[in-house]
Amino acid sequence: MKLAMLARNARLYSHTRLVAAAKARGHEIDVIDTLKCYMNIASHRPEVRYKGRALEGFDAVIPRIGASVTFYGLAVLRQFEMMGVYPLNESVAIGRSRDKLRGLQLLSRRGIGLPVTAFAHVTSQADDLIDMVGGTPLIIKLLEGTQGIGVVLAETRTSAKSMIEAFGGVGANIMVQEYIKEANGSDVRAFVIGGKVVAAMQRKGAAGEFRSNLHRGGQAKAVKITPEERSTAVRAAKILGLNVCGVDMLRSNHGPVVMEVNSTPGLEGIESATGTDIAGQIIEFLEKNAAPNKTKTRGDG
């Protein structure tokens, strides 16, 4: 196969692993800087151009689109879809996952366990927002935040009100969520490929840190997940339409609750913790599924 990978930085661990895995299995792969692509939108023959030439002949595209370039990245990916190139994850599905509110609404509608969550822009009713999620302690998240940035823990009502009002003062959309104390600063990431959980790790935040993100000093280890956790992860991926994703869950007293579904999950933490060849399994998935014009949305979403 001839593969394209949309990525800004070809040297990242996840990207070098995917390139190595593709080449090891006999495929050709080009790493394409997402922001350097440009398109003729009005053409009857959809085209993506790069460095003065048309990108042609690809069997599949692997979107590794950073959160900061989501809008443009999805436009490029849609153009590939219109050209009939098979995407590892479709543009519509990535868009759902990147819109945290939309993602939670879709999961909630289908009965996926979630933390009690309130959403607001006007924050004059801070007390009501706090009461909606069961009081303090609670978590406040900026809707646009990623990788633990824009996520704060408010331990008292006074601090919660101050933070909510502060975010409101700068016109931010915020989510207020119940704090799952029994998770004890850890979460579980289940890595889903093609409707199956292929690996899972438990991440634990650094001392004094409630966020479990690995790049913030958290630690990871392989973990055996329960059948309910496995089912929750698979269902969450299917609801959002993602072929490959990381489903982040907390272990609450009433079962697993989904915090986030990541459509561009990093490979370093999960491969290091579990010893699983995730990159190879992603390429294997493309071998089995990539076909021309197989995209459900054909760029229409």
Judgement on whether residues 81 and 24 belong to the same structural domain of the protein: yes
Judgement on whether residues 141 and 257 belong to the same structural domain of the protein: no
Integer CA distances (angstroms), 219 to 23, 216, 264, 289, in order:
31, 9, 20, 34
Q: Is 212 helix (H, G, I), strand (E, B) or coil?
A: coil
Provide the 8-state DSSP code for 239: H
Judgement on whether residues 6 and 45 belong to the same structural domain of the protein: yes
Judgement on whether residues 168 and 193 belong to the same structural domain of the protein: no
Tell whether 61 is covered by a domain: yes
Distance CA 112, CA 147 (A): 22
Contacts of 123 (CB under 8 A, 6+ apart): 129, 164, 165, 167, 168, 174
Tell whether 190 is covered by a domain: yes
Please identify, among 135, 151, 179, the residue that sits at the C-terminal boundary of a domain: 179
Distance CA 251, CA 182 (A): 7
| 8 A C-beta contact, residue 272 and residue 215 | no
First-residue to last-residue Cα distance in the chain: 26
Judgement on whether residues 102 and 210 belong to the same structural domain of the protein: yes
Provide the 8-state DSSP code for 213: -
Q: Considering its fold, how many domains does the chain have in total? A: 3
Judgement on whether residues 146 and 104 belong to the same structural domain of the protein: no
Q: Give the number of other CB atoms < 10 A from CB of residue 74.
A: 20
CATH number at residue 246: 3.30.470.20
Tell whether 289 is covered by a domain: no
CATH number at residue 137: 3.30.1490.20
Judgement on whether residues 101 and 206 belong to the same structural domain of the protein: yes
Tell whether 133 is covered by a domain: yes
The one-digit pLDDT tens for each residue of the chain (301 residues) are: 999 999 999 999 999 999 999 999 999 999 999 999 999 887 788 899 999 999 999 999 999 999 999 999 999 999 999 999 999 999 999 999 999 899 999 999 999 999 999 998 877 889 999 999 999 999 998 876 555 577 899 999 999 999 998 887 787 888 999 999 999 889 999 999 999 999 999 998 766 656 655 555 578 999 999 999 999 999 999 999 999 999 999 999 999 999 999 999 999 999 999 999 999 999 999 999 999 988 776 545 4
Judgement on whether residues 142 and 170 belong to the same structural domain of the protein: yes
Tell whether 283 is covered by a domain: no
Residue 294: the pLDDT is 86
Tokens of 147: 């990788």
Judgement on whether residues 131 and 227 belong to the same structural domain of the protein: no
Boundaries of domain holding 70: 2-89
Judgement on whether residues 105 and 189 belong to the same structural domain of the protein: yes
Judgement on whether residues 107 and 249 belong to the same structural domain of the protein: yes
Tell whether 11 is covered by a domain: yes
Tell whether 208 is covered by a domain: yes
CATH number at residue 63: 3.40.50.20
Residue 263: the pLDDT is 97
Residue 147: the pLDDT is 56
pTM above 0.85, yes or no: yes
Judgement on whether residues 205 and 107 belong to the same structural domain of the protein: yes
Tell whether 279 is covered by a domain: no
